[in-house]
Structure 1
Amino acid sequence: MEAYEIAVIGGGMLGSAIGWGCATRGARVAVLDGGDTALRAARGNFGLVWSQGKGDGLPAYAAWTRASLDAWPALAETISGLIGRDCGLRQQGGLNFCLSDAEFEARRAIVSRLHNQGADTLRMVDRKELQALMPGCRLGEAVVGASYEPRDGHADPLSLLQGFHAGLRAAGAAHLPGPEVVRIEAGRPYVIHRADGARVMAEKIVIACGLGTPRVAAMLGADIPVRPVRGQNIVTERLPPILPLPASAIRQTVHGTVQIGVTQEDDGDPTPFTTTAHMAGMAARAIRVLPELAQARAFRAWGALRPMTPDGFPAYAELDGHPGAFVACCHSAVTLAAMHAGPLAEGIIAGRLPDAVKDLHPSRFARGQNVQAH
């Protein structure tokens, strides 16, 4: 049975970032991953590095997000070096298109609230200013304006995940794909039992396995509520440049493809399947924004399940009564990657999570009474 300093349960975007962050700081790390059929939210990520709308009602989340945006350029440089190519980060601003006066006013209200919570560069732009931001972009007649955040951007999420795994290897960490975790023996060290009988021993553990978080956290008596929210995506053929800035539901990648999405289907259905009705709705709205897309061929469409807490915000904690056992859950693992690989990993190594996430503790949930803030 191998012994490690830190074992991360979950090899998706969140767990890999944490594991890599710990390993690059000298910890002996194992990342316990699922198999090829695992329902990975990382496969369905839209790729935005995004602050718009994040933290409305919870300023700590907004601040955590803005700090990650500031740290992303350094992360992108490192990840690009690890994979030997550009990981696609472009932070030239981001948009949330409004296709009616009613949408514009509703968005304005959100922007106003976020201004009061520290989002001082987020603002509304009318159609004329929007067109000036994107000279040469042919917008549909329905577009009346947008919200605009100059610090937002996007990246290639699959390159990011590949970079984390390359970084894990380079740092000497163990990547252990395989069967699910079925039991955790509490103590120092913790002993993690897998369905095939394999065991992993570690002084500290991090539960970061997305939709599997409630089941695994319950092995240590913790109640972490997470539900599946389906998201669907469409990718077109490669096109000439038609959209210079990414938007919340449409972006042109560095490869020229246009990605359209992403739905928020919170119907309790734990399947990642695509549906014609949602695909048609997404495509129709995208064409209203960019009429040129009406002639584009869709090459790929897929769905994925994202882990969502009751309020939609991240949750981080050291579990009450289990020193060295941490839980992390979020649906914005690309945006927050720099924080997970940086301050959060540092806090896990130190045995104390950073003060910046104190208000992101799951004790804020009504049924989270068996975890204690640190």
Structure 2
Amino acid sequence: MTLNRQHSEHDAVVVGGGLMGASLAWGLARKGLRVCVLDEGDIALRASRANFALIWVQGKGLGFPEYTAWTKAASAAWPRLASELEVETGIDVSLDQPGGFTLCLSDRELQANVDALERLHNQPHAVSHPYEILDHSQTKALLPAIGPDVSGSIYCPLDGHVNSLRLFRALHAALKIQGVDYRADHAVGEIKPQADGFLVKGSWGEIFTPKLVLAAGLGNARLAPMVGLEAPLKPSRGQIIVTEKASPFLHYPVVTIRQTDEGGVMIGDSEEATSASLATDHGISSVMADRAIRMFPLLGDLNVVRTWSALRVMTLDGCPVYERSEAHPGAFMAMAHSGVTLAPQHAYNLATAIAAGSIPDDILAFGIRRFHVPARA
């Protein structure tokens, strides 16, 4: 029997219930679509486990100015997202956008970061973002707890952070309120394109949908070819250290250190090309801790309460990938390692495009065609 649209209980199926999938599913539901989310659940290699909860603009877009513009727009839209989630669910995600710092432990390190920002702003079609270069004393005036090893810093007023666990909870609460059919423990094994949609299968059974969104993180590498797409990504292991709660001392997020609204300090300063291993490398975590203590000596007196590692979704150039299948136009794919920063863009702009069935020019730039530019002779 041939399946057709009238047999579908949903207008769209989103594969993946992490920050990316939840943001998109919420956005699609708000556009009036009947949405189903198929999620592996807590057993998944969920990239959301490794997110540092930063809303970060500083330094993004070197070699890809469209990414700078996309990230700046996300930062500007975050108050709207936080407000709408709180109104809808009653959950405060603790949005705080005081600006953020990159701390440097030598003049050479500071100069390297300054050089990178200058290259970013001097590239063709550059989209600028504000920043200040501060010496040690200027930095200490804003971050009194820094140690003598901090030679200087770079400050960007557009940066900030949220409580990532509350954000994840708020999105899933909002999915329920919007009537999204969320199905945990529904790993997708196979996708079979049909004349008028897609048959999605797993050990749990099958479901038909006219519109399909792949937001399965690293799982997209396996699923994308089933709908005529490719997923140019690689796993990147990141490690996180969390300390016991401390009196407030860090009122701005630092790119590798942040004090949460609950008082604990998160340290995350690793990006490791690796296999699918989630083992914690104590050599790397020791280096992370040493750098953090040099930046803020008081950290040396705090106990570590937990550490973990997870696999980030890292595309080949580090920038987001959004694509629509040419072979099967009802299929879309979304991948990005900045799931927190870009959540407003995914919930609003990208979800709107997917609901309409087309990708506008400002999103087309993030397609996979950029990985197939012929080499110059």
Task: Give the TM-score, by structure 1 length.
Answer: 0.94
Superposition pairs of residues 291-306 of structure 1, within 5 angstroms: 291-306=297-312
Percent identical pairs in the alignment equals: 41
- Contact 1:43 1:158 (8 Å CA) reproduced: no
Counterpart residue number, 1:191: 199
Give the secondary structure class of the aligned counterpart of 2:48: helix
The alignment status of 1:140 with 2:147, answered yes or no, reads: yes
Whole-angstrom distance in 2 between the partners of 1:262 and 1:161: 22
- Please report how far the alpha carbon of residue 30 of structure 1 lies from its aligned counterpart in structure 2 after TM superposition: 0.5
* Alpha carbons 1:8, 1:205 under 8 Å: kept: yes
| Deviation at residue 186 of structure 1 after TM alignment | 0.9
> Which of residues 289, 294, 298 in structure 2 aligns to 1:288?
294
Alpha carbons 2:66, 2:127 under 8 Å: kept? no
* Shift of residue 83, structure 1, vs aligned partner: 4.3
Runs of at least 5 residues in structure 2 that lack an aligned partner in the other structure: 1-6
Aligned to 1:372: none
Secondary structure, aligned partner of 1:52: coil
Aligned to 2:163: 156
Partner of residue 45, structure 1: 51
CA contact (8 A) 1:111 1:123 kept: no
Counterpart CA distance in 2 for 1:183 and 1:138 is 53
Contact 2:8 2:210 in 1 (8 A): no
Instruction: Name the residue aligned to 2:4.
Output: none
Q: String of CA shifts for 1:320-361, please: whole Å, max 9, x gaps.
A: 111111000110010000000001000000011232122111
Secondary structure in 1 matching 2:309: strand
The answer to whether the aligner puts 1:313 opposite 2:322 as a matched pair is no
Secondary structure, in 3 states, of the residue corresponding to 1:365?
helix
One-letter identity of the residue aligned with 1:88: S
Q: Deviations over 1:100-157 (max 9, x none)?
A: 01101101101212333222312322122212333xx221111011111001000011
CA positional deviation for 1:243: 1.1
TM-score by length of 2: 0.93
- RMSD, aligned CA: 1.5
In the alignment, which residue of structure 2 is the partner of 1:210?
217
Structure 1 range deviating more: 321-330 or 116-125: 116-125
Aligned to 2:135: 126
Counterpart position of 1:88 = 94
2:366 and 2:318 mapped to 1: Cα distance? 11
For 1:163 and 1:354, locate their aligned partners in 2 and report how far apart those are by CA, in whole Å. 28
Structure-2 residue corresponding to 1:273 = 279
1:75 to partner: Cα distance: 0.6
Determine the C-alpha separation between the residues in 2 that align with 1:253 and 1:80.
19
Q: How does 1:1-374 map to 2 (within 5 A)?
A: 3-116=9-122, 117-134=126-143, 137-187=144-194, 188-196=196-204, 198-266=205-273, 268-366=274-372
Distance 2:360 2:82 in 1: 23
Structure 1 consecutive aligned stretches of length 4 or more whose deviation exceeds 4 Å: none
* Structure 1 unaligned residues grouped into runs of 5+: 369-374
Amino acid aligned to 2:201: H
Aligned residues: 364
